Structure 1
């Protein structure tokens, strides 16, 4: 469908990935025409697409991001679940080894996450966004530079597949081209001062592989062995996510000096060297589906566009704040940024002077929360490059570590940490008097000797038929339910 050139306002969204399509959904009710410019041809089904190598790795859509997507595009979560995604309760739907020990699984639901392959998530959001009136997709068109002056961005030049360049005028340009965004260069070409940038890189390398699960993945938990930044060694971690198609997406990671490789014969061996061999034990019961894929571009990079004085231009998602995928916040932070953009548009004029600056500030708030969570861990790893933790950072890290240890046996702390981790609450909730009192009191029970497993989860490890009881059914016993010494 051709763009409506007679529209009241025209918006250009550069990049047709998750951030770009969510931005289009946010602006569709307020811009007469929203044109998504994408350099590749996007699939019409949940299939891999060019330009998204991170889709081959594990992604978690935390409840803060899922709720934001549902607000922008009602019906998307139902669409995902119908297509095979899983809604997983937190904390009971996670078998998780934190730096403070194994989490118990006897609590009521605090939050949730959506577990699915990235291709499925992108397809659902894209399908919903493109169905909005006024949203149009311009495929096989690569943005090559911005139009305008130092005073205002007025559009972009795109290069079509045949090499022909076209100038597209717009009242507002959204950069959603991701980590590889060339916007800083394009802005410099217009004489706009460089945007301040902060980088913290723990040197994380990811190795991921799909497996045919040995059990029905409906009701199956996330299995997560976290790194411990307090240890004087490289941080290694691993995750098993149940996804669509009866598969597990397995991602292993290591910081600088402890990276995994693409060697298929070493994948399970690396998993066995984590702080617990639990993931390796489950992989021994599963069937590999495809090769091991590697990702190394995982640095935390924040371009502080909120400090710039730009008109007619907004950066969203990884273009402004790219996060280490280890914490799974990229999709959720982008979704909350798009939601903030939509809320600011209500009753406002997107072409008005100063709108873009206000929008960039609104987008920066949820991104900053995810940024602080990532930096609190990554800056502490050995050989991390970038901003070093100061006294206040170390003091805050000590408090967080106390909370993490206490959370292994205290629901007040579990709930607060979960609300922050899922981006449903700001970090200030961790200073609530009840949380402070719990931290002072410390763990109320001795640490678990191993993961809390249901009979179905234990049966898989033992090679037995799984009981009919759902894997995440609430326990009938006390806080030691499901404890297995390993």
Structure 2
């Protein structure tokens, strides 16, 4: 028996689909309003320009996705995604050292975002009370001012036809430039916001690589050593026996226009990486795609949990709340964790929708906070990064740097670090100062 009548979700990306999957358990009807056309296959879509670049689904995200869609991991693999040993098949150059490689007992799936979204799309079609209305944009909210409650949306389709739709709950999963932000601001409902400017650019391209007996990895990550190095890159095997190469540059280190205009520019940037391994692989490789560019000038976290007089009937999720530094690959996994938190709240029979949305935004903040702090601790290694600095930044950076260095020597520490990065263990599991101090002293003595 459904407890609620109708939910409307704005945005059919990953966070929107996950929200729909959860809400379908508790609402008689769930409608997704998506601006893009209906996909015809695992192809990049206009509404997700980041889809042409490398993505990662971390352990927490993969486990959560499997719980929401049982069997989906196996479907990924059967349809071409690459299954790897997480610590054995990843070759990672980080802060000037290579991580130790060993069998840590975890697996990771390598695939493109369009492939992942397409498979989720097929699973969503099996849910009878979820429908997707493509080519639909939301123009405005229907708002009851006396009750301070949003009770519907006004939409426009590709033909210009305008209609209104009522709902018990509106979920905004439309991303960074959402209607909610501007709509709330016009009504004087300011949402406290953190913004950190990082000037990040992504440049990606797919290649066909010749077989090589020396290639003992499935994914190789070369991270810049800040502050002196601003360019990094990753090469990863994905479905279709292809390799996707993504180059990243902080603080405008990559000239976007030059990369798009000059075919040789991509290889030239790869040659500037802190390590030459990726350049060696691609310098004579066969390109399978054009170069794609994606920019993230700043990352943003909207503290809806702190907003005063936030209207009833509205719930914000995914990038609509927080756009995190994508270099760390945690965005999709955050979306999964948020969906699971919403599911758990809705399972409480005695909670009203108003309580659920308010509590959800508070729990959402608890999910984001440690990840946000971990990410900006690294982003602020660059002096040009601007924004609110976390307390104890210098100490955090010193501590994290030692963990990075130790994870090139010590399997136990690297294993713990991997679980924290993959959001399955809290960062407190790494807060064993005795281990770090002893290791630092030992390393100093042996030098």
Q: Same fold (TM over 0.5)?
A: yes
**Contact 1:100 1:404 survives alignment (8 Å):** no
Q: Give the C-alpha shift of residue 352 in structure 1.
A: 2.8
2:200–2:252: 8 Å Cα contact kept in structure 1?
no
Instruction: Write the distance in 2 (CA, Å) between the matches of 1:204 and 1:8.
Output: 42
- Counting only pairs closer than 5 Å after superposition, residues 174-193 of structure 1 correspond to structure 2 as 174-189=171-186, 191=187, 193=189
Unmatched 5+ stretches in structure 1: 1-5, 448-486
Correspondence for 2:288? 289
The aligned residue for residue 454 of structure 1 is none
Moved more, 420-429 or 305-314: 305-314
Pair 1:345–1:40, CA change in 2 (3 A): same
Contact 1:111 1:419 in 2 (8 A): no
Provide the residue aligned with 1:237 in structure 2.
232
| Per-residue deviation, 1:192 | 5.2
C-alpha spacing 1:350/1:28, structure 2 compared with 1 (3 Å): farther
CA distance in 2, matches of 1:254, 1:108: 31
After superposition, residues 379-398 of structure 1 pair within 5 angstroms as 379-388=380-389, 390=391, 392-398=392-398
User: CA-to-partner distance for each residue in 1:184-238, whole Å, 9 max, x for gaps?
Assistant: 112234x351111111121111111011132399984210001222x3x352110
Q: Could you tell me how far 1:48 is from its partner in structure 2?
A: 2.2
Give the distance between the partners of 1:403 and 1:196, measured in 2 at CA: 33
- Alignment partner, residue 462 of structure 1: none
Give the total of aligned pairs. Answer: 434
CA distance in 1, matches of 2:238, 2:249: 23
Mapped partners of 1:251, 1:74: distance in 2: 31
Q: What do residues 275-301 of structure 1 show as CA deviations (whole Å, max 9, x unaligned)?
A: 111110111352111211111135211
What displacement does 1:443 show?
6.4
CA distance in 2, matches of 1:213, 1:350: 55
Task: Tell me, in whole angstroms, the C-alpha distance in 2 between the residues paired with 1:294 and 1:122.
Answer: 20
- Separation in 2, partners of 1:33, 1:399: 49
* The one of 84, 92, 106 aligned to 2:80: 84
Give yes or no for contact 1:337–1:364 (8 Å, CA) kept in 2: no
| SS, match of residue 279 in structure 2 | helix
Look up the SS of the partner of 1:297 in the other structure: strand
CA gap of 1:411–1:438, structure 2 versus 1, over 3 A, is farther
1:169 matched to 2:170? The reply is no
CA distance in 1, matches of 2:84, 2:305: 35
Deviations 1:66-111 (A, max 9, x none): 1111111112111111111112222212111111511121x33254
8 A contact 1:379–1:389 mirrored in 2: no
Provide the C-alpha distance between the structure 2 equivalents of 1:382 and 1:274, rounded to a whole number of angstroms.
20
**Do the aligned residues in 2 keep the contact of 1:111 with 1:418 (CA within 8 Å)?**
no
Equivalent residue, structure 2, for 1:103 = 99
The CA distance in 1 between the partners of 2:306 and 2:109, in whole Å, is 33
For residues 197 and 124 of structure 1, the distance between their equivalents in structure 2, rounded to whole angstroms, comes to 34
Compared CA separation, residues 216 and 159, structure 1 to 2 (3 A): farther
1:351 offset after TM fit, Å? 5.2
2 CA distance for matches of 1:274 and 1:404?
19
1:306-385 correspondence to structure 2 within 5 Å: 306-308=305-307, 309-348=310-349, 352-385=353-386
| Counterpart Cα distance in 1 of 2:153 and 2:205 | 38
SS in 2 for 1:386: coil
* TM-score (normalised: structure 2): 0.91
User: Where does the alignment leave 5 or more consecutive residues of structure 2 unmatched?
Assistant: none
Matched, 1:40 2:31: no
Secondary structure, aligned partner of 1:274? coil
- Which secondary structure state, in structure 2, belongs to the residue aligned with residue 348 of structure 1? coil
Does the CA contact (< 8 Å) of 2:210 and 2:285 recur in 1?
yes
